[in-house]
Amino acid sequence: MTEIKLKGLDKDGTEKEYALSDFKGERVVLYFYPKDNTLGCTQEACNFRDNINRLTSKAVVIGVSPDSIKSHQKFREKQDLNFVLLSDMEHALSEQFGVWKEKSMYGRKYMGIERSTFVLDKNGNSEKEWRKVKVTGHVDEVLEYLSST
């Protein structure tokens, strides 16, 4: 895969530039979500937040959406998020993982993120993926997978 660098916020809210290679040697839960501060995305982020201690003993959590850093900062502060958020405004990482898709709502077609989660191994290779994720129970699925491998 091509090395893509994205601006993001670290777990403490500090703006940095990241590449997935920065996490080499660690397993990564990389989850893609459509939009900050929407109902499903907030629920998903809060589920990751509430389980962060159980997750970080097994992997680093990174959320990715096409929202701006400013939007991420507001989302982080409002929801007290405690993991890395990356801003993929150009959709480079989303396209690389095949989650930038044509969607439809009320008969209108548009491009957007297909809610998806990937577990990357310590070398950055995808070892597990969930596509078209349903928010309810998803973090439990991820934890179950991480605990079994």
Taken in order of first residue, the domains within the chain and their CATH numbers are 5-148 (3.40.30.10)
Query: pTM for this one?
Result: 0.94
For 62, which DSSP code?
A: E
- Residue among 41, 64, 81, 86 flagged as catalytic: 41
Q: pLDDT digit string (tens) for 86-136?
A: 999 999 999 999 999 999 889 899 899 999 999 999 999 999 999 999 999
pLDDT of residue 13: 86
pLDDT of residue 59: 96
Mean pLDDT throughout 72-85? 96
Q: Is 46 known to be catalytic?
A: no
CA distances from 65 to 41, 58, 69, 142 (A): 10, 23, 10, 19
Q: pLDDT digit string (tens) for 15-68?
A: 999 999 999 999 999 999 999 999 999 999 999 999 999 998 999 999 999 999
